[in-house]
Amino acid sequence: MNGDAGRPARSAGRGAAAAGSDVRTGLILALETSCDETAVAVVENGRRIRSNVIASQVAMHAATGGIVPEVAARAHLRWIVPVFDEAREVAGLADWAAVEAIAVTQGPGLAGSLLVGINFAKTLAYIHERPLVPVNHLEGHIYAAWLLDPDEPERPAPEFPAVALVVSGGHTFLVEMQDHLQYRLLGQTVDDAAGEAFDKVGRLLGLPYPGGPAIMRAAARATRGDIVFPRAWMGDSYNFSFSGLKTAARRAIEAERRAAGGELDDGTIAALAHGFQESVVDVLATKAGLAAERSGARTLILGGGVAANSVLRERVERRAAALSIPLVVPRPALCTDNAAMIGAAGFFRARAGERAGLALDAVPSLRLVE
Ligand code: KG4
Ligand code: ZN
Distance in Å, CA 71 to ligand 2 centroid: 18
pLDDT digits (tens, 9 = 90+) for 117-136: 999 999 999 999 999 999 99
pTM of the model: 0.94
Share of the chain above pLDDT 70, in %: 94
Average pLDDT rounded to a whole number, residues 136-145: 98
What's the pLDDT score for residue 21?
Answer: 65
HEC profile for the chain? CCCCCCCCCCCCHHHECCCCCCCCCCEEEEEECCCCEEEEEEEECCCEEEEEEEEECHHHHHCCCCCCHHHHHHHHHHHHHHHHHHHHHHHCCCCHHHEEEEEEEEECCCHHHHHHHHHHHHHHHHHHCCCEEEEEHHHHHHHHHHCECCCCCCCCCCCCCEEEEEECCCCEEEEEECCCCCCEEEEEECCCCHHHHHHHHHHHCCCCCCHHHHHHHHHHCCCCCCCCCCCCCCCCCCCECCHHHHHHHHHHHHHHHHHHCCCCCHHHHHHHHHHHHHHHHHHHHHHHHHHHHHCCCCEEEEECHHHHCHHHHHHHHHHHHHCCCCEECCCHHHHCCCCHHHHHHHHHHHHCCCCEECCCCCCCCCCCCC
Q: Is residue 15 very low, low, confident or very high in pLDDT (cuts 50, 70, 90)? A: very low
pLDDT in tens, 154-163: 999 999 999 9
Measured in Å, residue 229 CA sits from the centre of ligand 2 at: 26
Residue whose CA is closest, atom 8 of ligand 1? 305
Residue whose CB lies within 8 A of the most ligand 1 atoms, among 280, 306, 366, for a mutation test: 306
Residues with CB under 5 A from ligand 2 (ion): 168, 337
Q: What is the pLDDT of residues 241-279, one digit of tens each?
A: 999 999 999 999 999 999 999 999 999 999 999 999 999
CA of 169 to the centre of ligand 1 (A): 5
Q: How far is the CA of 16 from the centre of ligand 1 (A)?
A: 36
Mean pLDDT, rounded, for 204-226: 96
Q: What lines the ligand 1 site, CB under 6 Å?
A: 35, 168-170, 195, 198-199, 210-213, 216, 304-306, 308-309, 336-337
Q: Is the pLDDT of residue 334 over 50?
A: yes
